[in-house]
């Protein structure tokens, strides 16, 4: 018996997730997430559309988590890209740039734990780039272009 490729395993797992009897169907079939007709019974069509994984660090990801598996809604993504692409992910906007808390942390060189702590205290000290507020949007709201929740933030002087 030959070893299955990671791409074949991704295809099998994708189909399994979309079955009504899947243990976590509330995240997939119960929400209307399905596999497109072209892929559901054809691994070769899946590979034609998706190609091989770019690296071993990539796995199958749906671009819009409210839509099913299809060529125009799937990509090979890294763990960081997938962690950012969750329905529960909050995005923060400043000066037209949207990023996650983890993304801002990487950009600023500040740990996510520190940012979360400052956010919960209402004292995000990003005075290098932020002025007085952040706009928070869930991934779903960003997708749908809905409004955002404002956080008025005090910036203590001298904090980095």
To the nearest whole number, what is the mean pLDDT of the chain?
A: 75
Residue from 134, 53, 137 nearest 91 by CA: 137
pLDDT at res. 43: 96
Contact between 90 and 136 under an 8 Å Cβ cutoff? The reply is: yes
The pLDDT-based confidence of 121 (bands split at 50, 70, 90) is low
Taking only the tens place, the pLDDT of each residue in 7-53 is 999 999 999 999 888 888 787 888 889 999 999 999 999 999 999 99
* Statement: residue 109 has pLDDT above 80: no
Q: In sequence order, which residues have a C-beta less than 8 Å from that of residue 134 and are 6 or more positions away?
A: 92, 93, 94, 124, 150, 151, 153
Strands (E), the chain: 59-62, 74-77, 90-94, 97-100, 133-138, 149-152
Its sign, for the CA torsion 37, 42, 45, 49, is: positive
* Statement: residue 138 has pLDDT above 50: no
Contact between 61 and 75 under an 8 Å Cβ cutoff? The reply is: yes
pTM as predicted: 0.64
Range name among 77-86, 115-124, 135-144 with the lowest pLDDT average: 135-144
User: What are the Cα distances from residue 39, in Å, to 121, 130, 148?
Assistant: 48, 45, 36
SS3 content of the chain, % helix, strand, coil (to 5): 40, 20, 40
Q: Mean pLDDT across the stretch 136-140?
A: 42
pLDDT at res. 37: 96
Percent of the chain with pLDDT over 70: 69
């Amino acid at each position: 018996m030959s070893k299955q490729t990671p791409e074949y395993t991704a295809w099998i797992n994708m189909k399994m997730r979309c079955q009504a009897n899947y243990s976590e169907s509330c995240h997939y079939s119960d929400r209307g997430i399905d596999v497109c007709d072209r892929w559901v019974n054809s691994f070769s069509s899946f590979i034609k559309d998706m190609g091989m994984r770019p690296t071993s660090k990539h796995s199958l990801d749906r671009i819009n988590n409210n839509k099913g598996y299809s060529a125009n809604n799937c990509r090979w993504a890294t763990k960081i890209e997938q962690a950012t692409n969750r329905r529960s992910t909050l995005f923060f906007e400043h000066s037209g740039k949207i990023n996650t808390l983890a993304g801002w942390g990487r950009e600023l060189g500040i740990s996510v734990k520190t940012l979360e702590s400052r956010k919960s205290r209402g004292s995000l000290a990003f005075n290098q780039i932020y002025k007085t507020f952040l706009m928070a949007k869930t991934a779903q709201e960003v997708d749908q272009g809905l409004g955002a929740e404002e956080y008025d933030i005090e910036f203590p002087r001298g904090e980095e």
